[in-house]
Amino acid sequence: MPKKFYITTPIYYVNGVPHIGHTYTTVAADVLARWHRLIGDDVFFLTGTDEHGAKIEEKAKEMKLKPQKYVDEIADKFKQAWQELNISHNNFFRTTDKNHIKAVQKALQFMYDKGDIYLSKYEGLYCRGCEQYKKNRDLVDGLCPDHKTVPEKMSEECYTFKLSKYQDKLLELIKKDKLQILPLNRKNEIVSFYEKEGLEDISFSRKNVNWGIPIPWDNSHTIYVWADAFLYYLTGLGWDGFTPLIKQDRGINFWPPQVQLMSKDILRVHTTIWPAMLLSLGLPLSKTIFVHGYFSINGQKMSKSIGNVIVPNDLIKKYGVDATRYLIMSAAVFGSDGDISRQQFDEKYNADLANGLGNLVARVSNLLEKNNLELNLKINSNKKLIREYKEKMLGFKFDEVLKSLWQKLRTADEILSDKKPWKLEDKKEIKNILEPVAEDLLNVASLLKPFMPTVAEKIIKQFSVKQIKKSQSLFPRIN
Ligand code: MSP
């Protein structure tokens, strides 16, 4: 039986178009999904858009559009971006989906009937950018540190989730890695949050937000956007909100997620509210939450007001799809923050792709054709390379995977420069030099499939025939 592998990205807010931050998470999830398919797992890869709440309501108003029309337009932009980037998701799911809305209402009704949701009054601060309640200790000079805005003072009647009830259970599950948080420093951060600050009950409804899912037993309230959003991880598989919830025939036999990818900005909610909701619903928790790094641009936070937002389409136009995927995945240590810039991308493109992979493929295929050599190359012949690769992929070390493949390419290049087969006459001697180099190139290409699916296939096709022909340049140099 193939192993099930369910991987998710966060659902992105539709208050803006997709940018390189969203792209990072989505391409990384795609790399993992593709790799798991290659090793024979049964994969479900889910992504989508988060479309309710005060922030989206406000944005639609600003654009002078009805919220539904506005979210339709932006959701399409996300869909299109992922299509252009060759993302292989199994479902693109939107929280305005009718089945999602029904299921969310059923789930909240279940939690209410169970006594996990109760009516109370909330007084405090709310950051609309985060769509989260804030404590004074979360603020810097009175401002939300992520959005640099003053949170709104709120005082309203609301339905409240008994989050505090799950403190001990969740802390234990996290400590024991039953809910694994990676990298380790992120786990420590969350454990320390539980130990020092702890879970407090949280408002799960809003009276003054219309653009949301009505609370089923009191439609003068709408459901808190995060409670709505988290359930997408279930509804995106076709879950209908009924309990007991796991039924093979309901199409959600992929539950629970093996890997949930995100960045640090939403780690805390994903390791507090989200697993507490699952416990309340009586569902198994996700296995691993992996937090990748946050991109800044030239040392600054990416923001519309600074005007430094990088959108995937610009990169694709300049570098092509596979090169864009490569540049993003190799830009930072996976799991640590990274600073990027357009100049850095240009340089890396020329060094690693135009002069690196592209040039090597051209050089080797050219020499093979010129000398009319017959080869019979095999994929997977380099066992050491494959073993190292597997270890790194399992450990989410994507940047290291790429580094070690490029090291292999550099070694191949050096062999050619050293031995200068173009100066030799003897065909056998030439073949002895070119054959292992070409075979390594074929191996590297096969391992590159999850990262650069189209280019990898091209190289594999080119180097899998007996009489290898030279090709057009894969990555034309840019200035
Ligand atoms: N809608 C919520 C998530 C709900 S999930 C149930 C949300 N949306 S978001 O549009 O703000 O997306 C946040 C996520 O986008 C981050 O966790 C990360 O995956 C990705 N990134 C957004 N900006 C990023 C960077 N600058 N750098 C790296 N990733 C970033 O939060």
pLDDT in tens, 412-435: 999 999 999 999 999 999 999 999
Do the Cβ atoms of 319 and 329 come closer than 8 Å? Answer: no
* 121 vs 138: CA distance, rounded Å: 21
157 is a domain residue: no
Give the pLDDT mean for 116-136.
91
Neighbours of 133 (CB within 10 A): 18
Q: How far is the CA of 191 from the centre of ligand 1 (A)?
A: 22
Shortest-distance atom of ligand 1 to CA 293: 28
Tell me the best of 46, 50, 77 to mutate to test the pocket of ligand 1, counting ligand atoms within 8 Å of each CB and taking the most: 50
328 is a domain residue: no
Catalytic: 158? no
276 is a domain residue: no
Q: Left, alpha or beta for 332 (phi > 0: left; psi -120 to 50: alpha)?
A: beta
- Which residue puts its alpha carbon closest to atom 6 of ligand 1? 230
- Domain span at residue 390 reads 341-462
Check 100, 130, 187, 449 and give the catalytic one: 130
Q: Is the CB of 229 under 6 A from ligand 1?
A: yes
Catalytic: 384? no
Summarised one tens digit per residue, pLDDT across range 161-218 is 999 999 999 999 999 999 999 999 999 999 999 999 999 999 999 998 999 999 999 9
Whether residue 139 is predicted with pLDDT greater than 80 in this model: the reply is: yes
Which pLDDT does position 371 carry in this prediction?
Answer: 95
Which pLDDT does position 247 carry in this prediction?
Answer: 52
Whether residue 285 is predicted with pLDDT greater than 50 in this model: the reply is: yes
Q: How far is the CA of 21 from the centre of ligand 1 (A)?
A: 7
Give the pLDDT mean for 362-389.
94
Shortest-distance atom of ligand 1 to CA 296: 26
Give the pLDDT mean for 214-234.
97
Number of structural domains the chain divides into: 1
163 is a domain residue: no
- Report the sign of the C-alpha dihedral through residues 145, 146, 150, 156, in that order: negative
β-sheet bridge partners, residue 48:
11, 93
Whether residue 250 is predicted with pLDDT greater than 70 in this model: the reply is: no
433 is a domain residue: yes
- Which residue puts its alpha carbon closest to atom 13 of ligand 1? 12
Which pLDDT does position 122 carry in this prediction?
Answer: 87
Which pLDDT does position 328 carry in this prediction?
Answer: 98
Helix ranges (DSSP H) in 121-242: 167-175, 184-196, 225-230, 232-235
Which pLDDT does position 264 carry in this prediction?
Answer: 96
Mean pLDDT of the chain: 95
Give the pLDDT mean for 262-267.
97
**Residue-by-residue DSSP string for 365-426:** HHHHHHTT------TT--HHHHHHHHHHHHTT-HHHHHHHHHHHHHHHHHHHHHH-GGG---
For residue 228, what are the contacts with CB-CB under 8 A and spacing of at least 6? 52, 53, 95, 104, 212, 213
Which pLDDT does position 248 carry in this prediction?
Answer: 47
352 is a domain residue: yes
Give me Rg for the CA atoms of the chain.
25
Q: How far is the CA of 54 from the centre of ligand 1 (A)?
A: 17
Q: How far is the CA of 131 from the centre of ligand 1 (A)?
A: 13
Catalytic: 127? yes
Comparison of pLDDT for 122 and 319, the residue scoring more: 319
- Which residue puts its alpha carbon closest to atom 9 of ligand 1? 12
Which pLDDT does position 444 carry in this prediction?
Answer: 97
Three-class SS of residue 205?
strand
Neighbours of 423 (CB within 10 A): 7
Q: Is the CB of 337 under 6 A from ligand 1?
A: no
What CATH number does the domain containing 371 carry? 1.10.730.10
Whether residue 251 is predicted with pLDDT greater than 80 in this model: the reply is: no
Check 36, 144, 348, 449 and give the catalytic one: 144
Q: Is the CB of 437 under 6 A from ligand 1?
A: no
Q: How far is the CA of 413 from the centre of ligand 1 (A)?
A: 39
237 is a domain residue: no
Give the pLDDT mean for 3-30.
97
For residue 394, what are the contacts with CB-CB under 8 A and spacing of at least 6? none
Whether residue 327 is predicted with pLDDT greater than 60 in this model: the reply is: yes
* 296 vs 273: CA distance, rounded Å: 27
Shortest-distance atom of ligand 1 to CA 10: 5
Which pLDDT does position 19 carry in this prediction?
Answer: 97
Whether residue 244 is predicted with pLDDT greater than 70 in this model: the reply is: no
Check 169, 301, 461, 469 and give the catalytic one: 301
- Which residue puts its alpha carbon closest to atom 10 of ligand 1? 12
Catalytic: 175? no
Name the percent of the chain lying above pLDDT 70. 98
430 is a domain residue: yes
Catalytic: 196? no
Burial zone of 104 (CB within 10 Å; 0-12 exposed, 13-18 middle, 19+ buried): buried
Give the pLDDT mean for 333-344.
96
- Which residue puts its alpha carbon closest to atom 23 of ligand 1? 21
- Which residue puts its alpha carbon closest to atom 16 of ligand 1? 263
Q: Is the CB of 267 under 6 A from ligand 1?
A: no
Give the pLDDT mean for 94-114.
96
